Structure 1
């Protein structure tokens, strides 16, 4: 199973279309909020999308829980779960959804870790990055899930992998 996660485009519709061309034929595409686009934009026929704090179309859901090739994924923007102050509320929501992968945005800072058997992923902001890796000019992530390993790559806007940030998590 291989999916893509992106967040926080803040009106940059073209980058979402470009990413689809860079990463064709994946098993799932996930957008973690703050597009500032209407929920009926044709891009969201491909991307699962949630409402961010800068999205004003009430037709976006606050969260999405779905299963892709046997892996349960919970996604939200993160602002309603206090992610700027820690991941405990987000983790509780992921556990309640029985998720193996939790995707969120909002902080504009990339990161991935494993907690309580869940991989917690923030792909960073593709358009307005912040923090330690802001100099990369924006990032998104791909997640490859096999029977024995989860592999996460962070990619720049041009689709190139930032190899030093790649992470593997072994499955029990």
Structure 2
């Protein structure tokens, strides 16, 4: 299973579409973790599994979603409802409830990935307003045989060399 994960594009439609088009045919799933600030009908989000962030107004997107690809359960939320800027504990409870192997979230604009209790947690950062790094990031997660590789890219599609994470999951 290979998933493209992006978040916090904050109104960038053309730019978002450019990044997604770069990888659309190379992945099994396209995920946006919220704060797109676009409507569900926007061409940039065609074929993308999107959740609502705290800056997304209206009811175009669900608060969270669970996707299953090749036997891998992926939980997606923005993170503001789980206080992810302070702790990952509420998010971990929800991911466990959903039986997720992967939990994707945004909100903090801080890119990173880690494993806890057998779940891979991924925050793709932000392609518009990154925090803690200068690169505007998104990532691709490959998950197979209880091994996950999360590779981060900058807005232009170059691999962020110090942000390639490999995990063996119980």
The TM tier, using the shorter chain, reads over 0.9
Does the aligned pair in 1 maintain the 2:78–2:107 contact within 8 Å? Answer: yes
Following superposition, which runs of at least 4 residues in structure 1 exceed 6 angstroms of deviation?
none
Query: Which residue pairs with 1:157 in the alignment?
Result: 155
In 1: Cα distance, 2:34 partner to 2:79 partner: 9
- In the TM superposition, what is the alpha-carbon distance from 1:39 to its structure 2 partner? 2.0
Asked if residue 64 in structure 1 is aligned to residue 65 in structure 2, the reply is: yes
List per-residue Cα deviations over 1:118-162 (Å, max 9, x = no partner).
00000001100011x1x11x1001001111421000100011111
In 2: Cα distance, 1:42 partner to 1:15 partner: 12
RMSD, aligned CA: 1.1
Query: Which residue pairs with 2:139 in the alignment?
Result: 141
- In the TM superposition, what is the alpha-carbon distance from 1:165 to its structure 2 partner? 1.1
SS in 1 for 2:67: strand
- In the TM superposition, what is the alpha-carbon distance from 1:59 to its structure 2 partner? 2.0
Query: Which residue pairs with 1:127 in the alignment?
Result: 128
Q: Provide TM-score, normalisation by structure 2.
A: 0.95
Query: Which residue pairs with 1:17 in the alignment?
Result: 17
Name structure 2 gaps, 5 residues minimum.
none
Alignment of 1:71-150 (within 5 A): 71-131=72-132, 133=133, 135-136=134-135, 138-150=136-148
Name structure 1 gaps, 5 residues minimum.
none
In 1: Cα distance, 2:89 partner to 2:38 partner: 29
Does the aligned pair in 2 maintain the 1:39–1:57 contact within 8 Å? Answer: no
- In the TM superposition, what is the alpha-carbon distance from 1:41 to its structure 2 partner? 1.9
List per-residue Cα deviations over 1:54-85 (Å, max 9, x = no partner).
00021210001010111100000000111111
Does the aligned pair in 1 maintain the 2:24–2:30 contact within 8 Å? Answer: no
Relative to total residues, which structure has the larger helix share, 1 or 2? 1
Does the aligned pair in 1 maintain the 2:119–2:169 contact within 8 Å? Answer: no
Q: How many residues matched? A: 169
In 2: Cα distance, 1:30 partner to 1:19 partner: 12
